[in-house]
Amino acid sequence: MEFRLSCIRCGSPLEDVGNPVRCPGCGGIALIEYDYEKLSSVITKDGLARAPPGMWKYSPLLPLTERDAVVSLGEGGTFLQKAERLGEEIGIRGLYLKNETVNPTGSFLDRGVSVEVTRAKNMGYRGVRCASRGNLGASAAAYSAKAGLGCTIYTTLGIELGKLYQAIICGAEISPVKTYDEAIRMLERPDGLEYVISVTSPYLLEGVKTTGYEVCEQLGWEPPEFFIVPVGEGGHLSMIWKALRELDRIGIIDGVHSRMMGVQAKGCSPIVDAFRKNLDKPIKSKDLGMTFHDIAVRQPMLGELCLKALRESRGYALAVHEKRILEATRLLAKYEGIFAEPAAASTVAALKVALEDGIVERSDRVVCVITGSGLKDPASVKSLVGRSGVDTPIAFVLTSSLDSRLGRTKRLILKILQRHPSHGYLLWKTLTKELGLTITLPSMYQHLQELMAAGMVTVIDERGPSERKKKVYALTKKGESALASDLVG
């Protein structure tokens, strides 16, 4: 299907040149538009109903040519779960969960990455590269492997291990950098052989919008009163709104009445703050030690687009406390059997707040989008185990599951922390310079995360000369006991 690109900021038409696509006039990102009048005679409800399940049933509304061979792992077509038990618990009847955790790599981003890697493969690129905090890199690695392309991922220290392991096992080259801003800058270096997968790419965004198409079809083409979506960069919420408007323009739904609700955590909420102050652009958030990386984006690159979608839909933006997000993660698993990462379960936490504040009526139909699997970020939900009523012997097994495979590196880390708490770089320097251990900085952080998961190491905040908080690692009583009894020897 023919399509065209235009700048979201100034509206100028753009040529499909460069990677990623940017407006040469104002630097704005591009969005894709179609000939909706023509599509209205091509796409029908009956035709969609007869098509095989999955996101590619909406291919006339995706930016590919008929010659393109799709690179797919079976993304899309995810379950829309009627949440009777959870709805009864929190006091709403019409609650639905769009379960994106069942995508091939456990994240909604598989939809967009499938489009991106399809494009890279058909354009003759030898590989792809991206900057990622976790889910995007895991997805890029998997789809690149399927396509037979190389994959380079620029990531920061502290990435969740589940996502890092996914990328590594799929053969991606991991290139760690200090900050996410530096990772983004690495993508700006020209390379004619590698295709850049970016969260601002109009092609990736077109893939993720299919979440909105599916929900509407699964509800009999009667969209809900509210879509509640986690907000990191802001692309998913923005594109679900675009999907609704497109369905209206081609006559599949009768008007757009849904309202969008974006969710962030109180520790990092630049879009919520801007929404409340009636600003058009998010203000860079302070780093308050947010632990849920997918919704801890200090300067969202699609924040302007997200705020526009919130206002056009007469929606809301809510910041929810981390404790409430963790509690929602527990409720989602306990009542509906969905183990989501906390960033994904934030939509349930926001719904509870919205019901309490009267933003959402208890008679409304609401779709909470559950964007990623909890298996990707088990460390963040570890604290729930001790508060979930698990029998003591089982809890001991869970918290001690790493004890039997602690080796020399972890033993040395514990011994250093036994002398004094240490921040990550100093700990790595001690291991390599003083003790002569050959270990990369990312590998050391992997060991630290595993020790934290075993309950032997914890994190404390310590103010430095600049009064900025540093993440400092310290030995726990369990770590002391392990050393004393030679459990790690």
Q: Choose between 414 and 402: higher pLDDT.
A: 414
Residue 121 lies in a domain: no
Lowest mean pLDDT among 117-126, 171-180, 235-244, 384-393: 384-393
Residues 6+ apart with CB under 8 A from 200: 20, 29, 233, 235, 301, 302
Give domain status of residue 33, yes or no.
Answer: no
Q: Does 37 score more than 90 pLDDT?
A: yes
Of 403 and 410, the structure prediction assigns the larger pLDDT to: 410
Q: Give every CB contact of residue 258 below 8 A, 6+ residues apart in sequence.
A: 223, 224, 225, 226, 227, 244, 313
Give the whole-angstrom CA distance, residue 264 versus residue 273. Answer: 10
**Same structural domain, 333 and 371:** yes
Res 242 pLDDT > 60:
yes
pLDDT bucket at 288, cuts 50 / 70 / 90:
low
- Within 13 Å and on the Cβ side, how many CA atoms surround 90? 31
Return the minimum-mean-pLDDT range out of 68-77, 169-178, 323-332. Answer: 169-178
Where in the sequence is the domain holding 406, given as residue range(s)?
A: 390-484
Contacts made by residues 353-357, CB under 8 angstroms, sequence distance 24+: 353/318, 353/320, 353/324, 354/226, 354/228, 354/261, 354/316, 354/318, 355/90, 355/91, 355/92
* Residue 220: per-residue pLDDT: 97
**pLDDT at position 153, please?**
94
Is residue 181 included in any domain, yes or no? no
For 146-167, what is the mean pLDDT?
86
The burial class, CB within 10 Å (0-12 / 13-18 / 19+), for 25 is exposed
Query: Is omega for the bond preceding 20 within 30 degrees of 0, making it cis?
Result: yes
Residue 486 has pLDDT above 70, yes or no: no
pLDDT at 397: 47
Query: Is 85 contained in some domain?
Result: yes
Top pLDDT among 7 and 236 is at 236
Domain boundary among 362, 382, 402: 382
Kindly list the strands in the beta sheet with 469-475, ordered across the sheet, starting from the edge strand earlier in the chain. 422-423, 469-475, 457-463
Task: List the one residue out of 192, 155, 201 whose CA is nearest residue 29.
Answer: 201
Do 242 and 340 share a domain, yes or no?
Answer: yes
Here the CATH number for the domain that contains residue 356 is: 3.40.50.1100
Q: Point out the domain boundary residue: 322, 354, 382.
A: 382
* pLDDT of 396 higher than 50: no
Whether 122 maps to a domain, the answer reads no
> Among the three residues 358, 382, 406, which one is the final residue of a domain in this structure?
382
Our measurement of the distance from residue 437's CA atom to the centroid of its chain's CA atoms, rounded to an integer in Å, reads 34
The pLDDT-based confidence of 178 (bands split at 50, 70, 90) is confident
Per-residue pLDDT tens digits for 99-147: 999 999 999 999 999 999 999 999 999 999 999 988 999 999 999 999 9
> Do residue 374 and residue 431 come from a single domain?
no
State yes or no: pLDDT of 398 exceeds 50. no
Listed in sequence order, the residues at least 6 apart from 187 whose beta carbon sits closer than 8 Å to its beta carbon are: 20, 129, 130, 131, 154, 196, 198
The answer to whether 112 and 204 are in contact (CB under 8 A) is yes
Note whether 331 and 425 are same-domain residues.
no
Cα→Cα distances 9→27, 280, 340, Å = 8, 11, 34
Whether residue 320 is found in the same domain as residue 456: no
Mean pLDDT value across the chain: 87
Identify the band that residue 17 occupies on the pLDDT scale cut at 50, 70 and 90. low
- Is the pLDDT score of 389 beyond 60? no
Name every residue whose Cβ is closer than 8 Å to that of residue 28 and which is 6 or more positions away in sequence. 7, 8, 9, 10, 22
pLDDT tens-digit map of 327-376: 999 999 999 999 999 999 999 999 999 999 999 999 999 999 999 998 87
Residue 298 sits in the same domain as residue 362: yes
- Looking at the structure, tell me whether residues 359 and 441 fall in a common domain: no
Whole-number Å distance between alpha carbons of 401 and 386: 15
Lowest mean pLDDT among 117-121, 198-202, 267-271, 295-299: 295-299
pLDDT of residue 319: 94
Token representation of residue 165? 């392991």
Q: Are residues 275 and 242 both part of a single domain?
A: yes
Instruction: Output the pLDDT for position 295.
Output: 83
pLDDT of res. 387? 54
Gap between the terminal Cα atoms of the chain: 63
Taking residues 281-287, report their average pLDDT. Answer: 79
pLDDT score recorded for residue 379 = 64
pLDDT top residue among 210 and 25: 210
Question: 381 and 323 in contact (C-beta within 8 Å)?
Answer: no
Average pLDDT over residues 289-308: 83
How many whole angstroms separate alpha carbon 449 and alpha carbon 443?
Answer: 10
φ/ψ (deg, to 5) at 386:
-70, -20
Here the tokens at position 321 are 């406390």
In sequence order, the β-bridge partners of residue 97 are: 81, 368
Distance (Å, whole) CA 431 – CA 426:
9
Kindly state whether residues 295 and 413 are assigned to the same domain.
no
CATH of the domain at 446: 1.10.10.10
| Number of domains making up the chain | 2
- pLDDT above 60: residue 287: no
Q: Which of 289, 332, 265 is nearest to 95 (CA)?
A: 332
Of all residues in the chain, what percent carry a pLDDT higher than 90? 58
- Answer yes or no: is 334 within a domain: yes
> Is 15 domain-assigned?
no
pLDDT greater than 80 at residue 205: yes
> Is pLDDT at 158 greater than 60 in this prediction?
yes
Q: Are residues 335 and 415 in the same domain?
A: no
CA distance 287 to 180: 13
% helix / strand / coil in the chain, to the nearest 5? Answer: 45, 20, 35
Of 83 and 380, the structure prediction assigns the larger pLDDT to: 83
pLDDT value for 393:
52
Same domain, residue pair 410 and 466: yes
Q: Are residues 371 and 222 in the same domain?
A: yes
3-class secondary structure, 125: coil
Of 121-125, 248-252, 278-282, 390-394, where does mean pLDDT reach its minimum? 390-394
Show the DSSP H helices in 264-421 as ranges: 270-276, 303-312, 322-336, 342-356, 382-385, 392-399, 408-419
Contact yes or no for 26/9 (Cβ under 8 A): yes
Residue 352 CA to residue 328 CA, distance in Å, equals: 9
pLDDT score recorded for residue 332: 97
- Cα–Cα distances in angstroms (integers) from residue 218 to residues 150, 211, 252, in the given order: 36, 11, 13
- Name the percent of the chain lying above pLDDT 70: 88
Q: What is the pTM of this model?
A: 0.81
In-domain check, residue 467: yes
On the question of pLDDT at 409 being above 60, the answer is yes
What is the band of 487 on the pLDDT scale with cuts at 50, 70, 90?
very low
